[in-house]
Chains A and B, each alone.
Chain A
């Protein structure tokens, strides 16, 4: 038998495969969103669902995010397992009432008598002028609310496994998909499987410094870790995977070994996930830390559209490199230029890879 893990598919394909398998497995699963059955099929992730499962399970949606979230909560209370899709997370701001006041609180308020099995997929945009309202990374807003599960798969393996787990879960789950992950390949088994909706994963072992990263920043962290390994610096990379419940214990375990913590988030720093992890590390592992823990996230202003204005908006592997230099005792000035060359982006700062053609 061929090793199932040897198959390489993209993150976007992994999501599509999960949706097909989850809908095939359980006829209570329905999917709805603006553009779900349209020719572009949410960047290809919902392709083929309408043909396969029909118009009583696959729906386009009126432009009514709050009402439709409530309607999907009702459908969940009525025995279905709805999956909602939003092409940008920014549109979820219209649905905050239903998400925060109803979905998150129904099971608790009614003393465990009725739960809301609802999956909300939402995509974070970046680059090519996504600008102030199409590029936000709002995971911390949702992570703040008890009763929601908030997940950010970074790897294709998790994109499929966590999507399947979210659909099988009896709680409202918000799955945040970064647009720059969609074309990245990963080893993804073909069969149906679920990945846990809890816990970070150590995706690269190391001894000198811990990088805890969310979503696309995991990709940047891995790139940095590989390069630094050539210069005798061993970086441990934690794919945090989940914003709620946050796995502070895995971070603590790692800093017990490394003594240094750098947290990377795709969102803003203020009141964000990086702050939460650093606060927890300081509270529970102060004596383990050799240096003050560090956070990297977005600067405290909205994302501008112009590529000239947005040039320095997103932290990248060079930002991470500079911060690591400051954290390490080791003087690496002599390696600086060489490391910089190895980390240099292979495309413009506002596109995910060199072959990318706008818009998206």
Chain B
């Protein structure tokens, strides 16, 4: 299924919205008012945007510590995200979570948590519940190459395959778990092949090519919806910023010299822009216009967040148990 120009424009817009949000968070993080560990996804925007393009509004998504892109791409509320980073009462968790714990149930972004692998079985569980209740929704778990080493990953894959569940796993392989390269943690073999051995349909692709991600994700989602069982996508990509925080950590020399620059040349947003610019009669002014709209939306989101009442310290002890 070919992407229309309108599809492509929406992909570019969604990636740029995530990029600009992360850039402005990085700028303002230095003010020391967002007092929570924050993991930015600059450079990796194509994966959540491409995957989300294959999802329906009622499909369910789970994520991890680096969740802003997954949340925004699925339709998560931007002002509530920013307010959450500031620990304010109108944050998506009312200040209880911060950057590493995000939720927007109305967007069916079901939860992000930072224990690596923690939400992977939850996505399997919601897909199981959908199947048992005769619903048509599918579920998605986003995780990284490091998560693939967790036992819970394989326990989840085993059950999902045994019950032929409508679930998509999205492995964002950026090659590093914090500062430790993949070659120091895993043998020289394909991650996707292990999923295949678990009985999953698997796909591999360039995670910095949003059109490729979208096409793969659509095929995987269709397969899951048609009852063909769990689908595993592995996308290569690269993290531009430091593991946690607003800066760059390339000076720590944990990655080969030049790797960052070479991946930055493969920027997914610039790549799609070149494709759009090459189209006959494409209005070049569109990029600035969309970027301005996004910048305005983000500015509004920060204003909303900072105008949000501070979280009431007296409420810290409530919501331990549900009624």
**CB within 8 Å of B: which residues of A?**
30, 56-57, 62, 64, 66-80, 97-98, 101-102, 106-115, 117, 146-147, 149, 170-171
Q: Provide the bound-state CA to CA distance between A74 and B123, in Å.
A: 6
In the complex, the answer to whether B96 meets A66 with C-beta atoms within 8 Å is no
Show 16 residue pairs from A and B whose CB-CB distance is below 8 angstroms, ordered by the A residue: A64-B159, A67-B152, A67-B154, A71-B124, A74-B122, A77-B111, A78-B128, A79-B133, A102-B122, A109-B101, A110-B93, A111-B93, A112-B319, A113-B103, A114-B105, A149-B321
Which chain B positions have C-beta within 8 A of A111? 93-94, 96-97, 319
- Smallest CB–CB gap between A10 and chain B, Å? 31
- Smallest CB–CB gap between A197 and chain B, Å? 10
Q: Provide the bound-state CA to CA distance between A145 and B154, in Å.
A: 27
Q: Cβ of B38 < 8 Å from any Cβ of A?
A: no
In the complex, the answer to whether A110 meets B101 with C-beta atoms within 8 Å is yes
- Contact status of A70 and B113, CB under 8 A, knowing A108-B319, A109-B93: no
In the complex, the answer to whether A67 meets B122 with C-beta atoms within 8 Å is no
- Smallest CB–CB gap between A120 and chain B, Å? 14
In the complex, the answer to whether B125 meets A77 with C-beta atoms within 8 Å is yes
In the complex, the answer to whether B125 meets A102 with C-beta atoms within 8 Å is no
Which chain B positions have C-beta within 8 A of A114? 103, 105, 110-111
B residues 112-160 touching A (CB-CB < 8 Å)? 113, 115, 118-130, 132-133, 139, 151-152, 154-156, 158-159
Partner pick for A98 among B96, B121, B130, B154, CB 8 A cutoff: B121
Q: Provide the bound-state CA to CA distance between A170 and B154, in Å.
A: 29
Partner pick for B159 among A67, A76, A110, A147, CB 8 A cutoff: A67
Which chain B positions have C-beta within 8 A of A112? 318-319, 322
CB nearest neighbor in B for A94: B151
Which chain B positions have C-beta within 8 A of A30? 132
In the complex, the answer to whether A70 meets B122 with C-beta atoms within 8 Å is yes
Which chain A positions have C-beta within 8 A of B154? 67
- Smallest CB–CB gap between B232 and chain A, Å? 16
In the complex, the answer to whether B321 meets A67 with C-beta atoms within 8 Å is no
Q: Provide the bound-state CA to CA distance between A77 and B124, in Å.
A: 11
Partner pick for B321 among A70, A72, A79, A147, CB 8 A cutoff: A147
In the complex, the answer to whether B113 meets A74 with C-beta atoms within 8 Å is no
Q: Provide the bound-state CA to CA distance between A173 and B93, in Å.
A: 23
In the complex, the answer to whether A170 meets B322 with C-beta atoms within 8 Å is yes
Partner pick for B111 among A66, A98, A110, A115, CB 8 A cutoff: A110
In the complex, the answer to whether B322 meets A73 with C-beta atoms within 8 Å is no
- Contact status of A107 and B320, CB under 8 A, knowing A70-B156, A71-B159: yes
Q: Provide the bound-state CA to CA distance between A236 and B142, in Å.
A: 56
In the complex, the answer to whether A171 meets B121 with C-beta atoms within 8 Å is no
Q: Cβ of B162 < 8 Å from any Cβ of A?
A: yes
Q: Cβ of B323 < 8 Å from any Cβ of A?
A: yes
In the complex, the answer to whether A70 meets B120 with C-beta atoms within 8 Å is yes
Extra contacts, 10 of them, besides A73-B125, A77-B125 (Cβ < 8 A), are A67-B151, A67-B155, A70-B120, A70-B121, A73-B122, A75-B129, A78-B60, A97-B118, A102-B118, A110-B96
CB nearest neighbor in A for B124: A71
Q: Provide the bound-state CA to CA distance between A12 and B167, in Å.
A: 37
- Smallest CB–CB gap between B166 and chain A, Å? 12
- Smallest CB–CB gap between B314 and chain A, Å? 15
Which chain B positions have C-beta within 8 A of A73? 121-122, 125
In the complex, the answer to whether A68 meets B93 with C-beta atoms within 8 Å is no
Which chain B positions have C-beta within 8 A of A170? 322-323
Q: Provide the bound-state CA to CA distance between A101 and B129, in Å.
A: 21
In the complex, the answer to whether A62 meets B159 with C-beta atoms within 8 Å is yes
Which chain A positions have C-beta within 8 A of B60? 78
- Taken residue by residue from 293 to 321, chain B's Cβ proximity to chain A (1 for < 8 Å, 0 otherwise) reads as 00000000000000000000000001111
Residue from A64, A73, A77, A170 whose CB has the most chain B CB atoms within 10 Å = A77
Which chain B positions have C-beta within 8 A of A101? 113, 115, 118
Residue from B133, B139, B320 whose CB has the most chain A CB atoms within 10 Å = B320
- Smallest CB–CB gap between A111 and chain B, Å? 4
- Smallest CB–CB gap between B67 and chain A, Å? 13
Which 3 A-B residue pairs are closest in the complex by CB-CB distance? A74-B125, A67-B155, A78-B129
